[in-house]
């Protein structure tokens, strides 16, 4: 097994690839690391694939995977993780904003200090305020939802143990939440390292402001899926119980109130003339529907081939 695999997703980065690969090779040689550089071409429209082919011919450590169209960073990382051969896997962006000089320290933290995942923290950024403020809000929300105390969840420069990359699935746009995915899969030794953020030298950013809205929706989605995917009835059943209980108790209260006023010879309204009755009726119906949704989700989960895909960390004598 190699010491390090470097996975680099890229989209239209032909200018930066030769410099980036040369820089990584220099760092690896200086530290006597055995390594591979896995360049995942995410449907680039420029000459990135031809550049990758040339780099691979000149250096056998450079390898490439090409998508037939643009699938996104998460897909590129997922495919890259399936092909890595290194004990430590490092991901970085292809635009030279991540420094390969960080690799030795990241390797040490995973290999010798036994962290399972190290996320980079670009403490000093070279981004406009229109990007830095939403980023801070996004990171604060993710910290609150996940309970993971990281400052920069979306930093492309990360290091993983090989086991982590083989046991997590990155899909959709969930690359922002790889530490969250790792935590919910049992990899809890997650750390952070301040890394250099370099100004972009070539091209333009591939991400717009819409990623922050999408990122928040993805956070809600992944929080729900990871927490309740094996026990959906706990979520739907709890909500259904509360809704049905509210409807039942409200209707019971209206009935008791009517009977009391009849007994006391007071003026009273018919139960069906009161708005609360209809709210109670809706709550009861919604409660039943949530229960049914929970049962259906349990049946689907029961028949899933990954129902018991629990991660075994280690075996002895078997």
The reply to whether 79 and 168 lie within a common domain is yes
- Polymer length of the chain: 318
The reply to whether 217 and 241 lie within a common domain is no
Structurally, the chain folds into a number of domains equal to 2
294-311 tens-digit pLDDT: 888 777 766 665 554 555
Q: Would you say 9 and 37 are in contact if contact means Cβ atoms under 8 Å apart?
A: no
The reply to whether 172 and 241 lie within a common domain is no
- Helix count and strand count (H, E) for the chain: 10, 7
90-117 tens-digit pLDDT: 999 998 989 999 999 999 999 999 999 9
Residues near 152 by beta carbon (within 8 Å), at least 6 away in sequence = 119, 120, 121, 122, 135, 139, 192
Question: Is residue 233 very low, low, confident or very high in pLDDT (cuts 50, 70, 90)?
Answer: confident
* pLDDT above 50 for 258: yes
Percent of the chain with pLDDT over 90: 51
Q: For residue 35, what are the β-bridge partners? A: 4
pLDDT value at residue 267: 86
Q: Would you say 276 and 250 are in contact if contact means Cβ atoms under 8 Å apart?
A: yes
As a whole number, mean pLDDT of residues 253-263 equals 89
- Among the candidates 201, 228, 255, a domain finishes at 228
The reply to whether 195 and 249 lie within a common domain is no
Enclosing domain of residue 253 = 232-302
* pLDDT above 50 for 316: no
The reply to whether 55 and 175 lie within a common domain is yes
Going through the chain in order, the beta strands assigned E by DSSP cover 2-10, 35-41, 62-66, 86-91, 117-121, 158-161, 190-194
pTM of the entire structure? 0.74
pLDDT value at residue 297: 79
Question: Is residue 315 very low, low, confident or very high in pLDDT (cuts 50, 70, 90)?
Answer: very low
* pLDDT above 80 for 269: yes
* pLDDT above 50 for 11: yes
Look up the CATH number of the domain holding residue 180: 3.90.550.10
Describe the strand order of the beta sheet including 86-91 as a list of residue ranges: 62-66, 35-41, 2-10, 86-91, 158-161, 117-121, 190-194
Average per-residue pLDDT in the chain? 86
The reply to whether 61 and 204 lie within a common domain is yes
As a whole number, mean pLDDT of residues 233-243 equals 88
111-158 tens-digit pLDDT: 999 999 999 998 877 666 666 677 788 888 888 888 899 998 888 999
Number of Cβ within a 10 Å radius of residue 279: 14
Gyration radius of the chain's alpha carbons: 26
The reply to whether 206 and 274 lie within a common domain is no
The reply to whether 159 and 265 lie within a common domain is no
Domain assignment present for 313: no
The reply to whether 189 and 256 lie within a common domain is no
Question: Is residue 264 very low, low, confident or very high in pLDDT (cuts 50, 70, 90)?
Answer: confident
The reply to whether 62 and 166 lie within a common domain is yes
């Amino acid at each position: 097994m190699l010491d390090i695999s470097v996975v680099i997703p890229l989209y239209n980065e032909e200018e930066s690839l030769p410099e980036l690969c040369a820089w990584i090779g220099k760092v690896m040689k200086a530290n006597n690391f055995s390594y591979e550089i896995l360049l995942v071409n995410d449907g680039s429209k420029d000459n990135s694939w031809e550049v990758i082919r040339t780099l691979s011919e000149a250096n056998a450590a450079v390898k490439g995977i090409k998508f037939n169209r643009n699938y996104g960073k998460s897909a590129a990382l997922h495919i890259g993780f399936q092909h890595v051969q290194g004990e430590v896997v490092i991901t970085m962006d292809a635009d030279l904003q991540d420094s390969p000089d960080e690799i030795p320290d990241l390797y040490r933290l995973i290999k010798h200090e036994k962290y399972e995942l190290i996320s980079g923290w670009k403490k000093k950024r070279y981004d406009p305020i229109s990007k830095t403020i939403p980023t801070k809000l996004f990171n604060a929300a993710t910290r609150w939802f996940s309970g993971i105390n990281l400052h920069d969840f979306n930093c492309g420069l990360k290091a993983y143990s090989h086991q982590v990359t083989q046991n997590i699935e990155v899909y959709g746009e969930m690359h922002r939440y790889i530490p969250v995915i790792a935590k919910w899969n049992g990899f809890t030794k997650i750390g952070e390292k301040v890394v250099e953020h370099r100004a972009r030298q070539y091209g333009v950013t591939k991400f717009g402001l819409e990623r922050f809205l999408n990122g928040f929706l993805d956070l809600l989605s992944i929080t729900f899926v990871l927490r309740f995917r094996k026990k959906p009835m706990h979520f739907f059943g709890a909500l259904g119980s509360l809704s049905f209980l509210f409807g039942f108790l409200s209707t019971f209260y209206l009935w008791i109130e009517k009977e009391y006023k009849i007994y006391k010879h007071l003026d009273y309204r018919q139960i069906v003339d009161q708005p609360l009755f209809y709210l109670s009726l809706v709550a009861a119906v919604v409660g039943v529907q949530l229960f049914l949704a929970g049962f259906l989700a349990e049946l689907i989960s029961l028949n899933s081939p990954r129902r018991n895909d629990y991660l075994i960390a280690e075996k002895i004598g078997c």
